[in-house]
Amino acid sequence: MSFTNFNLNPNIAKAIHLCGYTEPTPIQTLCIPDILKRKDMIASAQTGTGKTAAFVLPALHQLSISKSSNKVRVLVLTPTRELANQITDATNKYGKFLQLNIVSLVGGTSYRQQFKKLSRRVDMIIATPGRLLDHMKNHALDLSSVEILILDEADRMLDMGFVDDVSEIASHLPVKRQTLLFSATVDHKITHILKNLLKDPILIDLSLEKLTPTHITQELYIADDIQHKNRLLHHILNNKNIFKGIIFTATKANADKLSKELSQLGHLTSPLHGDLKQNVRNRTIEQLRRGKIQYLVATDVAARGIDINDITHVINFDLPRLPEDYVHRIGRTGRAGKSGIAISFASRHDIRMVEKIERFTHQILQREIIVGLEPSSKSGMAKNKKNKQFNVKHKSRFKTKPQQVGMPKKKVSAPLQKAKNNHFKFKKKSKAA
């Protein structure tokens, strides 16, 4: 399969060539032809799979073929500012040779600048729902000519409570339009809540393929307490060959604290979380991209959508609250086909979350131990090589099939159940020891 098969506008093809893309990724191969046929679509795919280009390229093609009007014709809604910025950058890159006006409307940026941009001709808007609604309420926006509505990371928009905003925005768009919904996971909740926005959508599911990212090695270290986690982290930062990394914490305060501690130890690090001003967040991400810092200490929302190709490691200092977030976190490494390493720390209290992650990803996290920094037996999980061998052996058996959109949740597979049972057996054993 080659990009030429899509018959995209030659100016888009030229830009793709400049990006160095030789062939479409699976999500692009599956989505682009149907989007070009103007079909509605629900597609589940993770970031890192090339999904931005999967919807941006056909949207740009649509803008390039029909006659231009002075009104907005493509609207992309996305949950976070970082994602909106990332999509805007990608769109400018792919649309480099088309004379289009693409405007990003996100919070944390001055209204005045945005009003100024909106006073000119605008072809495409990439926005977070709250800021877009503000502009709509100020009558600064006419969305009556939108031909394509794209909802990116729809699951996260629902999680962040944007459902009413999205419905309200959609109610101001023409009924006759194309609607594309992209989401890391597509379940009953999403299809039920958002189905009214779509007409006979084509369903494309690549979620589980990405959930078994063979190019990301996943390791788990058991920690007794926070001090133990700190010792493990210092050892890893000093001994592993980390080029760039993101360290995830559970709270904004922890991100600040840990970043400060690591800086004091001589590591080049900065915090990244929602309490920081947007320009500070942008600058921090840019510093990591340029190698001015080596580590981000980040929370989930702020780090979502970071697209830096040479992040070699993701470290979950604290585990996320949702297994979906685990997948998003580890997807910050192993970008564009490169390999990556995801390291997680878990305490005894996190065992249920580890199990949830393993069930969700259909993978067992490989238990690792650092000699001299072993967990005490009361931690209740991996302590010796036996456990490590067990996990490695079972890992390769977890073959998954893509799940149908709207189907009931998959039951735990037999091998996974067996692995779980053994895991519990092991836990009992180590408790007795």
CB of 43 or CB of 118, closer to ligand AMP = 43
Tell how strand 313-316 and strand 340-346 pair up.
parallel
Nearest residue to 53 via CA among 5, 15, 11, 81:
15
In the complex, minimum distance from the CB of residue 52 to ligand AMP, in angstroms, rounded to a whole number: 3
- For ligand AMP, give the closer residue by CB, 309 or 384: 309
- Is the CB of 1 or the CB of 265 nearer to ligand AMP? 1
| E strands present in 24-140 | 41-44, 74-77, 102-105, 124-127
Strand order in the sheet with 74-77: 102-105, 124-127, 74-77, 148-151, 178-183, 41-44, 202-205
Residues 6+ apart with CB under 8 A from 418: 394
Considering the complex, state which of residue 318 and residue 324 has its C-beta at the smaller distance from ligand AMP.
324
Q: Nearest-CA neighbor of 105 among 73, 140, 70, 149? A: 140
What does the binding site for ligand AMP look like in residue numbers (CB under 6 A)? 21, 24-25, 28, 47-53, 307, 309, 335-336
How many other CB atoms are there within 10 angstroms of residue 389's CB atom?
11
CB closer to ligand AMP out of 152 and 358: 152
Closest approach of ligand AMP to the CB of residue 72, in Å: 22
- Rg of the chain in Å (alpha carbons): 23
At its nearest, how many Å lie between ligand AMP and the CB of residue 97?
Answer: 17
Shortest Cβ distance from residue 83 to ligand AMP (Å)? 9
Query: Which of 270, 274, 311 has its CA nearest to residue 287?
Result: 270
Beta carbon of residue 210, minimum distance to ligand AMP (angstroms, whole number): 9
* Sign (positive or negative) of CA dihedral 54, 31, 340, 225: positive
Comparing CB distances to ligand AMP, the nearer of 15 and 297 is 15
Helices 10-19 and 81-94 pack at an angle, to 10 degrees, of 110
Alpha-carbon distance 167 to 198, whole Å? 12
Q: Least CB distance from residue 419 to ligand AMP, whole Å?
A: 30
Element spanning 399, H or E: none
Q: Are 69 and 92 in contact (CB under 8 A)?
A: no
Q: How far is the CB of 21 from ligand AMP (least distance, A)?
A: 4
Comparing CB distances to ligand AMP, the nearer of 2 and 66 is 2
Specify burial of residue 67 (Cβ count, 10 A radius: 0-12, 13-18, 19+): exposed
Residue with Cβ nearer ligand AMP (163 or 208): 208
Is 220 or 342 the residue whose CB approaches ligand AMP more closely?
342
CA–CA separation, 231 and 373 (whole Å): 8
Other beta carbons less than 10 A from residue 253's beta carbon: 13
- Going along 184-286, which residue ranges are E strands? 202-205, 216-222, 245-248, 269-272
Q: Which two tokens stand for residue 267?
A: 């590591």
Q: Which of residues 24 and 380 has its CB atom nearest to ligand AMP in the complex?
A: 24
